[in-house]
Structure 1
């Protein structure tokens, strides 16, 4: 799916850090890629702060609702949607791994029919309850993790490494791919990257990393503003740009940022 800024959930008080400054201190750039477990955990928390107003991304396996963005139901850890095919892929993977006593199996035909639309036909009224119930099953959680990595995380990090980007750039690619999808069209990740490359060379082509990431984030926010559900660009402007301005290309904690007016911190 494409995660959207419209998926606003009440922020738990324990997730907020109201006194945290948005300015991050200058620090040495770390060498670890986003695939390192500690870095990947940071990436999951950053996405969850934007998508679910919480740093507790593991609590989102059972999340499901229609956020009225034209993609049908949105659910799970990266906002898989019934209208874009990735929710179908998650359920199909889960059914393959758990063919019996699987409450989501009966919705596979409907998910195939509504793919590409905002329709709930065949999904109401039971699909949301079945999705939430499935979240208690570790096999379902593994299915979500696997589809997240296959469709979004691994391709994004792989392309970022080819472009010579460190952890912050790898995260910028991942977050963009989650929200916009991996497609080559102007509204997809491929189109956003192409727009950035027209303005600045990535490090692998001899360009400066900061200049290129600035161009990429500019292209990203331009794409967001073209879609009503994504017009709030704070997940870029008061998060990723904050880290970039601080020179934190390694995405090293402590990290302080804000999304939709709510402040967050990762201390270590």
Structure 2
């Protein structure tokens, strides 16, 4: 998952004030080797938080809007099913509601899942090419035809459901389950989710598992008897340090002027109204 350039959209219950100075994409970088995303791992702590969870329908909607404000410069996350572009970050095409990438495997898995449900769909013919370009930034066998067909597929509710399901399987559910196991309430669950969206669910230092491990060296989780705010500050510190190691992630406003704001306000249950900034743009979720 990588940051996605500016798109437009909005919701009736939320407002956004765009800034003309905001970058339309993260700075280009071509890592070597191409960044990959590992498969999600099971939670490593047993206790579950009794606080309201991010899997509550309204809280989950809020989480989608918060992520979209950073990834798409819009709160209208449902407008992103058709998004597809190579933003020059070494991960090939970035597409869809969560930034599935042709170079990191999750786009391949998405199209495989879509094809298993709807054989002969417009993207099925690209499966051989997606397998070949995995772990590279190559467009071989894809190109403009693939981009056009992705946008066509995005009108199909079956493909939209496939995107939702893969988002939940690879990112949302593992993040929320681990956060609950760590004794975190809705804000902490969102902080985990946003981290796994950007960094992937691996264990290396700049993946979700590595960031969590770094935080746990500085503070105990609530499940370990630690203070929730202290631990989340340690996690955000570790997250920011990981972001700053890569040019494509060096704008840390989603931590500094979004998540840290909620934490400093003591809003551990992530209750609206919520006001924040990403890339200098202001957003509000009223209810």
Tell me the TM-score normalized by structure 1: 0.92
Unpaired runs of 5+ residues, structure 2, are 19-49
Q: Deviations over 1:17-46 (max 9, x none)?
A: 449xxxxxxxxxx93200000000000000
Matched, 1:116 2:116: no
Counterpart CA distance in 2 for 1:10 and 1:174 is 22
SS in 2 for 1:241: helix
More helix, by proportion: 1
Matched, 1:155 2:187: no
Q: Which residue of 2 aligns with 1:86?
A: 106
Paired residue total: 254
Deviation for aligned residue 1:11: 4.5
SS in 1 for 2:237: helix
Q: Which of 29, 52, 55 in structure 1 is aligned with 2:72?
A: 52
Matched, 1:174 2:193: yes
| Aligned residues: CA RMSD | 1.5
Deviation for aligned residue 1:3: 2.7
CA distance 1:105–1:17, change in 2 (3 Å): closer
SS in 2 for 1:125: helix
Q: Is the 8 A contact 1:16 1:262 kept in 2?
A: no
Q: Which runs of 4+ in 1 moved over 6 A?
A: none
Matched, 1:3 2:34: no
SS in 2 for 1:8: coil
Q: Is the 8 A contact 2:91 2:104 kept in 1?
A: yes
Counterpart CA distance in 2 for 1:262 and 1:179 is 19
Question: What pairs with 1:96-135 in structure 2 (closer than 5 Å)?
Answer: 96-100=116-120, 102-135=121-154
Counterpart CA distance in 1 for 2:8 and 2:112 is 31
Q: Which residue of 1 aligns with 2:45?
A: none
SS in 1 for 2:272: coil
Counterpart CA distance in 1 for 2:167 and 2:2 is 12
Q: Which residue of 1 aligns with 2:39?
A: none
Q: Is the 8 A contact 2:15 2:285 kept in 1?
A: no
Question: What pairs with 1:1-268 in structure 2 (closer than 5 Å)?
Answer: 2-4=1-3, 7-12=4-9, 16-18=15-17, 31-100=51-120, 102-268=121-287
Q: Deviations over 1:124-178 (max 9, x none)?
A: 1211111111010000001001100000000000000010000000000000001
Counterpart CA distance in 2 for 1:105 and 1:160 is 35
Unpaired runs of 5+ residues, structure 1, are 20-29
Q: Which residue of 1 aligns with 2:25?
A: none
Tell me the TM-score normalized by structure 2: 0.86
Deviation for aligned residue 1:13: 7.7
Counterpart CA distance in 2 for 1:248 and 1:11 is 28
CA distance 1:44–1:9, change in 2 (3 Å): same
Counterpart CA distance in 1 for 2:7 and 2:132 is 32
